Structure 1
């Protein structure tokens, strides 16, 4: 096991460094933060894909209801269809790509994203991106936002979130330890789990208040921070971390 992976494994065994909090919380001891890694859909971009409709189109109504009942924290459609035959997989990925292409036509940058990135740049904090969407969507996001994230990993990088591999890859590329990085995303199942398994700090973006304490009971992790908008992340970082390049 690599030293980076070993250190991240040891870090993930420790209790979360601070409870779920809002950006007004101030901690007496500040951890060093050198990089922030973002999810894309629903975090850096306004959510436009009807995931329930996409899952139903891929799985069928009856199978969708069955799997949803067995997975209250959310369906991992990419992991699910990996078990299918090659022909069935191709059809499933075709349906998913159709939904994603429709989403590209309506792509909009999340309010506060540009300002947050400018703040990170002013502090010389690195910015990365991990998405389960395709590279085409990442390229379009870079073009429309005028902001570049590096590394920017799409689902062509395997394994996908919630596996910690993409986040550990970014930490290795930056030559940072995972506990010097924060993962920000709108999915408890994918983004927060990925961050926690890697040993990073985590921030859950919950714009519409769809997550409650009951949701945290359905998974083995909970975020270190929870915000309702990207604009809150700015003050959260300043209040809780030593921001050091």
Structure 2
């Protein structure tokens, strides 16, 4: 896959489904915590008012994510894109809805050469643009000069909300 990087000064990647495969079973996760099928799972958990129930839901999600992280492998297209961006000498970051622990496992197990990683513990989850804007600010770049690469509508919406260019893979 060839990516046109003309005019791009920094590239931010989603993790699951973009750089690495993910076998997260969101249907099972929703079932485990009682989340309706048409509701965003993180939004659902954030709205649980009982602290114990919210902790239990977060623990279930964490277990699913950690199990998935242990077997996640590079996606061919993801590796190609990272290699291309590296050849251009552009800064790279990862913004993911994943938790930090699972993200770290996926990155370490696959030797992904990106150190700047923001997870849902660092900023509101996508489609909220905060994490993308944090990256642009750290790089001292205008959002319009950054490209966000993802695989899901939340990635596109986050990039649009941040005023960034985007690519769905």
Q: Which residue of 1 aligns with 2:135?
A: 170
Higher relative contact order (CA 8 A, sep 6+): 1
Q: Is contact 2:70–2:105 with CA below 8 Å preserved after alignment?
A: no
Cα shift at 1:58: 1.2
- RMSD, aligned α-carbons: 2.1
Q: How many residues align?
A: 168
Matched, 1:108 2:73: yes
Alignment of 1:189-228 (within 5 A): 190-205=154-169
Q: Write the deviation string for residues 195-222 of structure 1: whole angstroms up to 9, x where unpaired.
A: 00000011112xxxxxxxxxxxxxxxxx
Structure 1 residue corresponding to 2:32, chosen from 47, 50, 57: 57
The 1:81/1:108 distance shift into structure 2, 3 A limit, reads: same
> How far, CA to CA, are the matches of 1:158 and 1:182 in structure 2?
19
The structure that has the greater radius of gyration is: 1
2-structure distance, mates of 1:44, 1:90: 29
The structural deviation recorded for 1:145 is 2.1
TM-score if structure 1 supplies the norm length?
Answer: 0.64
Matched with 2:19 is: 44
Runs of 4+ off more than 6 Å: none
- Taking the aligned partners of 2:157 and 2:6, their CA distance within structure 1 comes to 20
Q: What are structure 1's unaligned runs of at least 5 residues?
A: 1-21, 69-74, 206-245
Structure 1 CA distance for aligned equivalents of residues 87 and 107 of structure 2 = 19
CA contact (8 A) 2:70 2:106 kept: no
* Residue 185 (str. 1) matches residue 150 (str. 2): yes
Does the CA-based 8 Å contact 1:45-1:109 persist in structure 2?
yes
Task: Show the counterpart of 2:45.
Answer: 81
Whole-angstrom distance in 1 between the partners of 2:45 and 2:108: 31
Deviation (angstroms), 1:31? 6.0
**Any unmatched runs of 5+ in structure 2?**
none
Shift in alpha-carbon separation, 1:56–1:131, aligned structure 2, 3 A: same
Contact residue 114 and residue 145 of structure 1 kept, 8 A: no
> In structure 1, what is the equivalent of residue 90 of structure 2?
125
